[in-house]
Amino acid sequence: MKNLIKPFALFSIVALLISCKDEQQVKVEKLTESYSKYLDSLTLEKSEEIVSKWNEIENEFNNKTTALKNEINQLDDKDDFEKKFAAVGIRYEDFKKDILVKKAEIDAKNAQLTRNKELFGSQFIHDDMKFEWVNKDNILAVYDQFVTTVQKNKDTYSREDWDEIKLLYEALDSRKNTVEKQGLTSKDNMKIAGLKLKFAPMYTVNRMGAKSEENANAKK
């Protein structure tokens, strides 16, 4: 009887080990499927929404990556799972590149809008080149804020910033031509002329300096 117990005990241990291996394989299969589906779900969301919560998404994906990799490493036969794991990783890197490009575009637009609101006030809206909110009563204040802000930040603007600022300045000047016909006082007009004389050389000198700095950096 004792001789029968030993083989049975050995069989039980082997069966238990096989069962544990099967359970681990099933666990990894489920995690791998969930890992892939998570990436699929991200690709279906609008890129703007992904960008707005990118740090959170990247952290979550990295956590899932680490967890799955640890589980795969516990398998003896893991080649197939490592291939599936790597394939999802490649898809994620391609997805990440596209999102980071979109994120850079959105960040640039937000920075541009922030800069323009500093130049013209909170009433300025994105891509506003008509300045219809500017009238005979507030145009002097708008010019004053514009020139004051440019003077304060002139050392931080890039050549591209200066080019965009010049376009906005010219658009504001175009609006001034309309406002003059709506009753702009000669007193305010004279003050605006003074501000324009202040801006012109500041633009020329600082844009030239920004361009020279960019050229110097490009040579490094």
CB contact at 8 A, 65 and 89: yes
Domain boundaries, the chain: 24-107, 129-219
The two three-digit tokens of residue 196, written as one number: 């324009």
- pLDDT tens figures, 17-64: 444 458 989 999 999 999 999 999 999 999 999 999 999 999 999 999
Long-range Cβ pairs for the range 119-126 (8 Å, 24+): 119/145, 119/146, 119/149, 119/150, 119/165, 119/168, 120/145, 120/146, 120/168, 120/172, 121/145
Beta-carbon contacts of residue 57 (< 8 Å; ≥ 6 apart) = 42, 50
Cα distance between residue 72 and residue 75, in whole Å: 6
The one-letter amino acid code at 76 reads: D
3-class DSSP state of 158: coil
- Report H helices in the chain: 2-44, 47-52, 54-72, 79-120, 139-153, 159-180, 186-219
The two three-digit tokens of residue 93, written as one number: 């890197």
Average pLDDT, the chain: 89
- pLDDT tens figures, 131-179: 999 999 999 999 999 999 999 999 999 999 999 999 999 999 999 999 9
pTM for this model (two decimals): 0.72
The two three-digit tokens of residue 110, written as one number: 């937000």
Instruction: Provide the CA 2 distance to its chain's centre, in angstroms.
Output: 72
Cα distance between residue 88 and residue 100, in whole Å: 18
